[in-house]
Amino acid sequence: MIQKEMVRVINTGGTFNKRYDPVEGNLFVPPDDTAVVEALASMRHGEEIVVGGAIYKDSLDMDDADRDLLCKIVADTMEDRIVIVHGTDTMDKSAAAIDRWLGKKSGKSVVLTGAMVPFSIDAVEATANLASAVTAVRYVAPGVFIAMHGMVLPYGRIVKNRRLGVFEAISE
């Protein structure tokens, strides 16, 4: 039964996780999974979702070594249904890298998601994206997808509109 398959959530940082540091007076990506864990806890799901984290960077600061590490983590993950919380700016780049790394025969369904506004500022957008990703990952075929702003699409068919701050489907 589909609900019994485990889902692994890999948190890499990005806007979703940003918190305010009152001493420094700015937002930062914390090296922890607080926001992701809090959002998931609110779903009151059972033991079928597990969370882990790595990298913890603004996605503009991710370099090739970070992306290689992420690909390796995904490939080594025991679960076949994987959600990645990621910064929105290079989400597509990481998606492409993971797709290349996994190749055609991996059997893994990977859904990347994130947020335009930190969970600590607007919990609703971040939660909606994460819930959408965690739900979709149980249905999509093997491959790499992006779940943002109510859409779940193969990563090459959805793009961030940087001027408007929303993700949009690419018309074929």
Contact residues for a second copy (CB under 8 A)?
1, 3, 15, 20, 22-23, 25-27, 38-40, 42-46, 48-49, 89, 116-118, 120-125, 127-132, 134-136, 138-140, 147, 149-153, 162-169, 172
CB closer to a second copy out of 75 and 169 = 169
CB 101 → a second copy: shortest distance, Å? Answer: 26
3 state DSSP class of 148 = strand
CB closer to a second copy out of 37 and 69 = 37
* Edge-first strand listing for the sheet containing 109-113: 49-53, 7-11, 81-85, 109-113, 143-148, 151-154
Q: Nearest to residue 132, comparing CAs of 152, 117, 157, 160?
A: 152
CB closer to a second copy out of 75 and 124 = 124
CB 80 → a second copy: shortest distance, Å? Answer: 17
CB 48 → a second copy: shortest distance, Å? Answer: 7
**How far is Cα 69 from Cα 57, in angstroms, rounded to an integer?**
13
| Contact between residue 161 and residue 153 where contact means Cβ atoms under 8 Å apart | no
Q: At what angle do helices 123-136 and 34-42 cross, to 10 degrees?
A: 70
CB 30 → a second copy: shortest distance, Å? Answer: 14
104: CB partners within 8 A, 6+ apart: none
CB closer to a second copy out of 55 and 153 = 153
CB closer to a second copy out of 20 and 52 = 20
**How far is Cα 53 from Cα 85, in angstroms, rounded to an integer?**
9
CB 59 → a second copy: shortest distance, Å? Answer: 10
